[in-house]
């Protein structure tokens, strides 16, 4: 759905599970339907930690946002794969900065409808259609350029996104190209679902391929597979870790360390 078009209800099939709504279910949200809950339950049978990990990844996103605002006075954010609106989003965490600009990006029609209704104000927040494979070119779009100044530092977020990119080489290219277009002092934040159990990876990938929008799914991978993605980047401490462990502060870290289902993430500085 492009801006200015009326929502087409026939493209939102509530009888078939949808990845954004399944993730909403795992986060404890209410914007999901029976098919989504059933798919979520199937995933929990494969990976009982899936709900904990989804919630940990969301907290990681918010913790990183807070850290970048407080420590680096970051005022520009681009959030890829933003998903359905949650009670607290990036723009709400960073709202102490009066010059805040946030662009939310997703390719799911339902996410766009909800995001534009609940999060977009066109002054500080914008919701646009796109995906990680278009990341560097999306920043050059006129509507995005009106919100984001590429001559100044920008934080680009790929949280829970890299595993939706089909080929690992393409995920590496997304990060490399992004680093090439951002101003010094910018940040790239990224995370990827991980499992060290080959059977869990295979079963989960079959299920998630079914529910991904337009078949946009990559793979849950092992940690050794994803580590090369982050090698060319200048990671800030503590580097590539389970998202539970990225500067948790006072947050409880129960549930981290799973070898069967986890999400690993990192924050990299550009320049």
What are the structure tokens assigned to 147, written together?
């919100």
Neighbours of 19 (CB within 10 A): 22
Which residues of the chain fall below pLDDT 70? 1-12, 96-97, 213-216, 250-257
- The helix (H) or strand (E) run that includes residue 129 is strand 125-129
Q: Residue 210: what pLDDT?
A: 83
Q: Is the peptide bond before 238 cis (omega within 30 degrees of 0)?
A: yes
**Dihedral in degrees, nearest 10, Cα atoms 84, 265, 158, 60:** 40
Residue in 234, 129, 132 with CA at minimum distance from that of residue 179: 234
Q: Is 203 left (phi over 0), alpha (psi -120 to 50) or beta?
A: alpha
| Alpha carbons 77 and 80: distance in angstroms, whole number | 10
Exposure string for 28-43, b = 16+ CB within 10 A, e = fewer: ebebbbebbbebbebb
Which sign does the torsion angle of CA 163, 93, 31, 83 carry? negative
List all residues 6 or more positions away from 60 whose beta carbon is below 8 Å from its beta carbon: 159, 191, 243, 244, 246, 263, 265
| Alpha carbons 59 and 44: distance in angstroms, whole number | 20
Q: Residue 148: what pLDDT?
A: 97
DSSP-assigned letter for residue 193: E
| Alpha carbons 51 and 73: distance in angstroms, whole number | 32
Q: Please state the pTM of the whole predicted model.
A: 0.92
Measured CA to CA in angstroms, residue 42 lies from 36, 38, 52, 204 at distances of 10, 6, 15, 9
Quote the strand ranges of 159-235, DSSP E: 187-194, 234-235
């Amino acid at each position: 759905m492009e801006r200015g078009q009326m929502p087409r209800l026939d493209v939102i099939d509530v009888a078939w599970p949808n990845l954004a709504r399944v993730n909403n279910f795992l986060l404890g949200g209410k914007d999901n339907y029976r098919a989504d809950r059933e798919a979520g339950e199937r995933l929990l049978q494969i990976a009982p930690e899936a709900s904990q990990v989804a919630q940990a990844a969301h907290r990681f996103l918010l913790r990183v946002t807070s850290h970048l605002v407080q420590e680096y006075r970051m005022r520009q954010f681009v959030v890829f794969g933003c998903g359905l609106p949650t009670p607290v989003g990036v723009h709400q965490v960073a709202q102490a900065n009066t010059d805040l600009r946030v662009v939310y990006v997703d390719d799911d029609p339902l996410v766009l409808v909800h995001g534009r209704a609940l999060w977009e104000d066109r002054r500080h927040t914008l919701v646009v259609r796109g995906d990680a494979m278009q990341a560097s070119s999306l920043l050059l779009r006129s509507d995005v350029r009106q919100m984001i100044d590429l001559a100044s530092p920008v934080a680009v977020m790929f949280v829970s996104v890299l595993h939706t990119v089909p080929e690992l080489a393409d995920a590496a290219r997304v990060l490399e190209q992004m680093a090439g277009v951002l101003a010094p002092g910018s940040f790239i934040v990224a995370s990827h679902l991980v499992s060290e159990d080959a059977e869990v990876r295979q079963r989960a990938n079959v299920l998630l391929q079914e529910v991904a929008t337009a078949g946009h799914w990559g793979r849950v991978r092992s940690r050794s597979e994803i580590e090369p993605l982050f090698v060319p980047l200048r990671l800030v401490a503590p580097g590539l870790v389970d998202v539970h462990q990225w500067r948790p502060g006072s947050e409880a870290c129960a549930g981290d360390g799973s070898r069967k289902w986890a999400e690993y993430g990192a924050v990299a500085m550009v320049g």
